[in-house]
């Protein structure tokens, strides 16, 4: 099956700093999503981005499907950005199963 | 409001007992999924269903069972055959096909006591 790798596994930032999270995947995909898991475990949808670039406030994402990677940018980080960020992909022909990476754990400090 | 509702939020089970986790959605989505998350880990697929009365095993289906009698509902039973059931369980739904966005419920935290 498709493999998803996220980096870095852990990241500590001071409030106000910027960061880039990376997601590499092993095969062509027609679905890529970024999620933020909050301290209560809920998965919050950030971006649905199988290709191209999107922005939502301080967050933006870019997926380069031909090179099999996606990047999530967080600018001017805040303590509420802390949590785990997951990338998940689905490839056509695999019955629409979403496969998750192991996540990037982000801690934003004052 | 449209969304996915999982219940209960916390569940305690004695060893040897079966327990059923509820997942209901009113998004009119055909496809539904169950994932398991262990502490510090990513999500692993247990079962999924693309239409009513049909479901397929995911990567870690042993010790679990599901049913899909209604489009809105996809309950997961954790059986006594599941050797290590303590985990966080998340349900998701989406329109069928690979290129559609998935949405998740708030999860059920199951603890074996």
Q: What pLDDT shows up at residue A97?
A: 81
d(CA B48, CA B72): 14
A34 secondary structure, DSSP code:
E
Chain A residues inside the 8 Å CB shell of B90:
41, 43
- The CA–CA distances, whole Å, from A14 to A22, A56, A78, A83 equal 19, 21, 8, 14
Per residue in A5-61, pLDDT (tens digit) is: 999 999 999 999 999 999 999 998 888 999 999 988 999 999 999 999 999 999 999
Q: What pLDDT shows up at residue A1?
A: 83
d(CA B68, CA B75): 7
Higher-confidence residue: A53 or A95? A53
> Any residues with CB less than 8 A from the CB of B36 and at least 6 apart, and which?
B43, B44, B46, B60, B87, B88, B89, B90
Q: Which of B42, B50, B94 sits opposite A86 (nearest CB)?
A: B42
d(CA A13, CA A5): 21
Q: Please give the residue of chain A at the shortest CA–CA distance from B42.
A: A102
Inter-chain touch A41–B109, beta carbons under 8 Å: yes
Inter-chain touch A100–B43, beta carbons under 8 Å: yes
Report, as an integer, the average pLDDT of A1-8.
94
């Amino acid at each position: 099956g498709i493999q998803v790798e996220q980096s870095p596994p852990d990241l500590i930032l001071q409030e106000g700093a910027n960061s880039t999270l990376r997601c590499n995947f092993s095969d062509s995909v027609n679905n890529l999503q970024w999620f933020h898991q909050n301290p209560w475990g809920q998965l919050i949808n950030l971006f649905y981005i199988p290709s191209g670039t999107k922005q939502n406030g301080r967050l933006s994402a870019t997926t380069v499907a031909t090179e099999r990677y996606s990047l999530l940018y967080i600018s001017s980080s805040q303590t509420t950005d802390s949590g785990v960020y997951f990338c998940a992909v689905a490839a056509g022909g695999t019955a629409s199963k979403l496969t998750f990476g192991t996540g990037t754990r982000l801690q934003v400090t004052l | 409001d449209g969304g996915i509702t999982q219940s209960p939020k916390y569940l305690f089970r004695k060893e040897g007992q079966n327990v059923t986790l509820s997942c209901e959605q009113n998004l009119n989505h055909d496809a539904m999924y169950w994932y398991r998350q262990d502490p510090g880990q990513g999500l692993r697929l247990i079962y999924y269903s693309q239409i009513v009365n049909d479901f397929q095993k995911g990567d870690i289906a042993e010790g679990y069972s599901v049913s899909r009698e209604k489009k809105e509902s996809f309950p997961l039973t954790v059986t006594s055959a599941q050797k290590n059931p303590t985990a966080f369980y998340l349900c998701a739904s989406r329109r069928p096909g690979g290129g559609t966005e998935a949405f998740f419920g708030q999860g059920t935290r199951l603890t074996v006591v």
